[in-house]
Amino acid sequence: MNLLSGASFERLQGAIDTSNLRQKVIANNIANADTPNFKRSDVSFESMLEQEMDRNSSSLIGNRTDSRHFYIGPQSGSMVSPQVTTDETTVYNNNLNNVDMDKEMSQLAQNQLKYNALIQQLNHDIKMKRVVLEGR
């Protein structure tokens, strides 16, 4: 029934969305490389996802007997959403701007490769499902 909504499929979707968001953030950092007082932003997702998955393996889970109860421990089907953080603490340039062009460029390349890998993985998933459907 849930052919296209497995956990890995949703995680892939979340990762692709995050990659898109990161592309925007990096593009904005590069665009503002000469803007006085601009502070660079970052997208954190992988570390949060890791935390969430670690939490999934922890044993303490609160038993909810009422819909008004708080969640204790991991929630089933909870999705991590990416966060944009701005680095206000450093100063790299004379004009209080902290965009490091080398860092942005390498992150741009890294993000692009990651995006390609994710799309490839997604296509692989779809191809496997197609094999099941067509039976050959």
Partner 1 sequence: MNISNSFNISASALTAQRLRMDVVSSNIANAETTRGRYVDGKFEPYRRKMVVMQPYQEGSFASALQSELGEPDVGKGVKITQIKEDQAPFKQVYNPTHPDADSNGYVSMPNVDVLKEMVDMISATRAYESNVTALNASKSMFMKALEIGK
Stretch that binds partner 1, among 12-20, 53-61, 68-76 (CB under 8 A): 12-20
Q: Residue 60 to residues 32, 56, 74: CA-CA distances in angstroms?
A: 46, 10, 9
Q: For the chain, what is the total number of helices (H) and then of strands (E)?
A: 3, 2
- 101 is an interface residue for partner 1 by CB under 8 A: yes
Q: What are phi and psi of 27, to 5 degrees?
A: -60, -40
Contact in structure between 37 and 97 (CB atoms under 8 Å): yes
Q: How far is the CB of 74 from partner 1 (least distance, A)?
A: 21
Query: In the bound complex, what is the minimum distance in angstroms from residue 26's beta carbon to partner 1?
Result: 7
Give residues 41-100 in contact with partner 1 (rule: CB under 8 A).
41, 43, 81-84
Q: Strand 41-44 relative to strand 83-86: parallel, antiparallel, unpaired?
A: antiparallel
Q: Give 6 or 36: the residue with its C-beta nearer to partner 1.
A: 36
Cβ-contact 25, 41 below 8 angstroms: yes
Q: Which residues bind partner 1 (CB under 8 A)?
A: 16-17, 19-21, 23-36, 38, 41, 43, 81-84, 101, 104-105, 108-109, 111-112, 115-116, 119, 122-123, 126
